[in-house]
Amino acid sequence: MDLGLQGRVALVTGGSKGIGLAIAKRLAAEGCALHLVSRTQADLQVAREEIAARHGVSVAVHVADMEQRGCAEALGAKCGDLDILVNNAGATPRGALDELDEERWRKAFDLKVFGYINLSRVFYARMKARGRGVIINIIGNGGERVDYGYIAGAAGNAALMAFTRALGAGSIDYGVRAVGVNPGPVATERLVGLMQKEAQARYGDAGRWRELEKSFPLGRSATVEEIAATVALLASDLSAYTTGTIVTIDGGMAHRGSLI
């Protein structure tokens, strides 16, 4: 299906690996020029070379830490006008309230919650002035299926869900849409690493990590391509009436009972 994205310009944070890289590849396949943001130059270079060679689109890369104040404004000065902003960079630690000190909590929120808000603020102003644009926030179903042992993620994701709904409800009046995507478990390097650690703790064998997926819907994690396909559709004019809402991609996990 041609989504009509040919020639549009997209910025993807956390765009060198995992879900972000899959989104970048999907948007490039639709003909979008890209700005990719990550903390690691080497990973960005690999992503740029692969995408440019395969899809023949312009790919600019930017080494930046979205946790740092002023980073959003600096990216705004480098990247110019966008048609699509995908906020994706973020990693929130697991832990109960008494296991996470203030420094770890603030660090996680500075990267993901304020990182999303600050970059949205910069590019929303430009989109609003132009009368068009789409902001897509990759959040996570931890804001819906809250977990005592993932309390920072629950709070941060819930905040971003509310932020997205509030922004999207009014931004449409100016031709700008804001939507969120809540992935459940997705088979990224990070998730596999966490599951290997858990398998080691439970079974004494990190190689048994796939056994932890048995209780998931369909007996597996989602693929990064499944998330990317939805993001591309939401970025397109085929979703022109979709704003201020959250699309959850977790196999129904957030609304099931116990998975055990």
pLDDT tens digits, 56-95: 999 999 999 999 999 999 999 999 999 999 999 988 989 9
Q: What's the one-letter identity of residue 54?
A: R
**Nearest-angstrom CA–CA distance, 113 and 118:** 9
Superfamily of domain 9-186+222-250 in CATH is NAD(P)-binding Rossmann-like Domain (3.40.50.720)
Mean pLDDT score of the chain: 94
Span 1-45, pLDDT tens digits = 789 999 999 999 999 999 999 999 999 999 999 999 999 999 999
CB distance 153 to 100 below 8 Å: no
pLDDT category at 213 given cuts 50, 70, 90 is: confident
Amino acid 166: pLDDT: 98
**Nearest-angstrom CA–CA distance, 182 and 246:** 7
Looking at the predicted structure, is the pLDDT value of residue 259 above 80? no
**Nearest-angstrom CA–CA distance, 132 and 115:** 22
Domain map (residue ranges) of the chain: 9-186+222-250
Amino acid 257: pLDDT: 63
Prediction pTM value = 0.94
Q: What percent of the chain has pLDDT over 70?
A: 98
